[in-house]
Structure 1
Amino acid sequence: MRGVLWSCLVLFLALAPLAARAEGRLVDFEVASKRFDGAKVGVSPVRKVTAYLPDGYGAGTRRYPVVYFLPNLFDGHRAIFERDGAKAALDRAIAAGTVPPLILVSADFSTPAGSSFYATSPVTGDWTGFLAKDLVDAVDGRFRTLPRAEARGLLGDRMGGYGAIRTAMVAPGVFGSVYALHPVGTGVGLQTMNSRPNFERLARARSLDDLGDDGFSRVFLGMYQAFLPNPDKPPFYVDLPASGHGETLATDPVLTAKLQNAFLLDRLLLVHAAELKRLRGLMFDWGRFDGNADHVVSNRAFAGLLEELGVPNEAEEYRGWWGERHWTQGGRVETRALPFFARTLAFD
């Protein structure tokens, strides 16, 4: 009898590590969309997507909420998995009970200039419609989801955080909760936007290659394609809100105001506060030591404006900086974002 008990104990100890290492799996697929037909800069209508499915998804009939992840500027849809360890972070959090099992979806929102800014434009296409309708429908049709707003979350990193809050404003009733990691574009900062790109270089350029490694000019070109589009003005199909560079900089106040009103979240909030009030949860954070103080100042002001307009929210300034990874063990996704979704999403 003692030998039988000993054998059972050895077998249990051998299998225990396997049970502790329960892992989800990644599924790659594509979503074809007509939202980009006619886009002037040649955006592909077939967008690549990666979905994280939790351990146990393959067995049973359980349905799961979905968190849609929106990447930062120049990040691909698989960057959080291949570079940042998102799969391991989700496995750890679910195994520890930090969050119940859920599906996470990351899609490609890039354009030739770098980012779609999660907006709708005749130059780059209807990215709001792609996210809120086409991608959601494709995920609900492919996986066992809970196909309702209270079971859908938006999680975005930096420019993706901007996109998460923006989408909740302009496409209400699709997503139930939003967490933005260090969002940008929440409002005017300390330095004027027009002082960053090189407008002389933008005016001379005939292709993206002509901008070389001028990162600011490429980023702001993408912004202008989203918010100052001009389909009749090749090669970039934008109206530039300024000319010159440095001491010769001359700003067009009409175009600058148009850009700010279309892009900045504090301007949109004045129109869309009611949509954010419908959310089950809204949370965002920012690192105090961001080298670009604009992000710190504007996020503080945006948090205050949310309070002024009566929009329930959680806002946190932490001891961090621009560029740090949030999917690390003990990082902000595990300690803040996933517990937030555990509280605010509807689970089966």
Structure 2
Amino acid sequence: MIRAPRLFAIAAAFFLLAVSSFAADSGTLVDREIHSENLTHNLIGVDPTRKLTIYLPPGYNTSTQRYPVIYFLPNPFGGHHDIFDQHHAAELFDRAIAANQIGKFILVSVDMRTPFGSTWYVNSPVTGNWQDFYIRDLVPYIDANFRTLATRNSRALLGDYIGGYGALRFGMAYPDIFSVVYAMHPVGTGSGVQMLVSRPNWSAIANAKSLSDLNSDGFTPIFASMFQAHLPNPAKAPLYFDPPAHLINGKLVIDSAQMARLRDNLFIESLIPKYADNLKSLHGLKIDWPRSDGIWDHVFANEALTYKLNEFGIPHEAEEFNGTWMNGTSGGDPYWDGADSRVYNEVLPFFRNHLDF
């Protein structure tokens, strides 16, 4: 007969074993900050100290193993921590690793926003040198401070929405740093059917005395951040860009030279001829997008992009799935929420098949 104290001790031992086993099967989130000289000489008040969150896989703290790294570019409408706070990404990653959807990996999410919106992932005398920050500061910092597999074959880019655009830009420009790219619902890939000049409030742009004067609607700040990135002009305060159109006697007139400059610098489709060989060298490239996105531009532009990639003989995967941007099975984000989330079923297995673990 087992006495009560003995029985209690056995139960406690099993409880501690279960807790330690659960902890061993859970990843860890680490919050850090990194200061970048590449961002100090901006004109719009960008903080050169950037926040980042690193997901470390189960067992990281008790092993000497090195891991591949997925660099995540979040949608700039939210914070870099949103996938963990709102979509429980750490738990999703843990579950995917346990189910062999993917091997153990590190994921890095960094704040890439400006006070006015997206950086558009380029070097700009107005917003800062974001491309240099990512490649010269962030990647070396992660390799120096965490047990990574520090080769291109073990580095991937994952981006969401405008972050998907950034993943494509970094992937095509730096195939020596990254070997796999997955762009979820990328925007800015091409012109589609809605023109660049149809969305901004051109009267607000013409009469602005400060950046805050452009906050009259949701579209104008987005396009103003685009112009600051791709049409920068440090001599034109307070907006610091050359607009691609002007109102003259109440009529919108296109500036042909600036529009050509914007299209050449912005659209992924326009950049493909320059970077085709780089894209061909990737070990994996995939884009996807929801068919029922209310902004038709995104749908038609991504359809055109996959044809352009085919024209240049660039191996890739492309998928148009049934749904909208924020309409998953549970009414949330189709990429992160619900039992059939695309990150779990599509994105992570894609990295499993193309990354070196």
- Could you say which TM-score interval applies, normalised by the shorter chain? over 0.9
The offset of 1:2, in angstroms, is 11
Aligned to 2:353: 343
The 8 Å contact of residues 207 and 235 in structure 1, kept in 2 or not, is answered as: yes
Contact 1:128–1:171 (CA under 8 A) maintained in structure 2: no
Given residue 98 of structure 2, which amino acid in structure 1 is its aligned partner? A
Q: Is residue 155–residue 180 contact of structure 1 (8 Å, CA) maintained in 2?
A: yes
What corresponds to 2:341 in structure 1? 331
SS of equivalent residue, structure 2 residue 197 = helix
Q: Distance in 2 between matches of 1:210 and 1:10?
A: 63
Deviation of 1:10 (Å) = 11
Give the C-alpha shift of residue 209 in structure 1.
2.2
SS in 1 for 2:61: coil
Asked if the contact 1:198/1:245 (under 8 Å) is kept, the reply is no
Structure 1 equivalent of residue 315 of structure 2: 312
Contact 1:150 1:345 in 2 (8 A): yes
Q: 8 Å contact 1:185–1:263 — kept in the other structure?
A: yes
**Cα deviations by residue, 1:173-211 (Å, 9 ceiling, x for unpaired):** 111100000001111111111111011101211223222
Decide whether aligned partners of structure 1 residues 14 and 274 sit closer, same or farther in structure 2, where only a CA change above 3 A counts: same
Q: Which moved more, 1:11-20 or 1:181-190?
A: 11-20
Structure 2 unaligned runs (5+)? 328-332
Q: What do the CA deviations read for 1:135-156 (whole angstroms, capped 9, x no partner)? A: 0001011100001111001000
How many Å separate the matches in 2 of 1:222 and 1:84? Answer: 27
1:226 aligned onto 2:202: no
User: In the alignment, residue 123 of structure 1 is paired with which amino acid?
Assistant: V
2:139 counterpart (132, 136, 149): 136
Question: Distance between the aligned counterparts of 1:30 and 1:145, measured in 2?
Answer: 18
Task: Write out aligned runs for 1:5-44 (5 A).
Answer: 15=17, 19=21, 22-44=25-47
* CA shift digits 1:216-266 (9 cap, x unpaired): 100000000000000111001101111239972211111111100000000
Q: Given residue 355 of structure 2, which amino acid in structure 1 is its aligned partner?
A: L
Tell me which amino acid in the other structure corresponds to 2:344: E
Task: Give, as a single letter, the amino acid of the residue that structure 1 aligns with 2:288.
Answer: D
Three-state SS of the structure 2 residue aligned to 1:203 is helix
Once the two structures are overlaid, the 10-residue window that deviates more, 247-256 or 80-89, is: 247-256
Post-superposition CA distance 1:124-144 (Å, at most 9, x none): 111111112210001011100
Post-superposition offset of 1:18? 6.3
Q: 1:231 to 1:303 in 2, by over 3 A?
A: same
Partner Cα distance (2:166, 2:189) in 1? 10
Deviation at 1:37, TM superposition (A): 2.7
- Give the residue type in structure 1 aligned to 2:54: A
Pick the aligned partner of 1:161 from 139, 158, 164: 164
Question: Structure 1 pair 59/256, CA: closer, same or farther in 2 (3 Å)?
Answer: same
Counterparts in 2 of 1:1-348, with a 5 A limit?
15=17, 19=21, 22-244=25-247, 248-324=251-327, 325=333, 326-328=335-337, 329-347=339-357
CA distance, structure 1, for counterparts of residue 325 and residue 356 of structure 2:
32
Query: Take 1:218 and 1:55, find their aligned partners in 2: how far apart are those partners?
Result: 40
**Identity, % of aligned positions:** 46
The offset of 1:42, in angstroms, is 2.2
Query: 3-state DSSP class of the match of 1:337?
Result: helix
1:256 maps to a residue whose letter is M
Query: Residue type matched to 2:323 in 1?
Result: G
Query: Cα distance, 1:322 vs. partner?
Result: 2.1
Q: Report 1 or 2 for greater relative contact order, CA contacts < 8 Å, sequence distance ≥ 6.
A: 1
| Cα deviation code 1:254-309 (max 9, x no counterpart) | 11111000000000011101111111100110000000111111101100111110
State the alpha-carbon separation in 2 of the partners of residues 258 and 38 from structure 1.
23
User: Quick check: 2:76–2:112 contact (8 Å CA) kept in 1?
Assistant: no
Q: Answer yes or no: is the 8 Å Cα contact 1:199–1:245 preserved in 2.
A: no
Instruction: Report the CA distance between 1:32 and its aligned residue.
Output: 1.1
Mark the CA change 1:13 to 1:73 in structure 2 (over 3 Å): closer, same or farther.
Answer: closer
Per mean C-alpha deviation after superposition, the further-off stretch among 68-77 and 137-146 is 68-77
Give the 3-state SS of the residue equivalent to 1:230 in structure 2.
coil
Q: 1:198·1:244 contact (CA, 8 Å) conserved in 2?
A: no
Count how many residue pairs are aligned between Structure 1 and Structure 2.
Answer: 346
For residues 2-35 of structure 1, give each alpha carbon's deviation from its aligned partner in whole angstroms, at most 9, with x where no partner exists: 999xx98997698558635721111000111111
Q: CA deviation at 1:323?
A: 3.2
In structure 2, what residue type is equivalent to 1:343? N
Give the secondary structure class of the aligned counterpart of 1:72.
Answer: coil
**How far apart in 2 are the matches of 1:33 and 1:321?**
37
**3-state SS of 1:51 partner:** strand
Provide the secondary structure at the position in 2 that maps to 1:193.
coil
Q: RMSD in angstroms over aligned alpha carbons?
A: 2.3
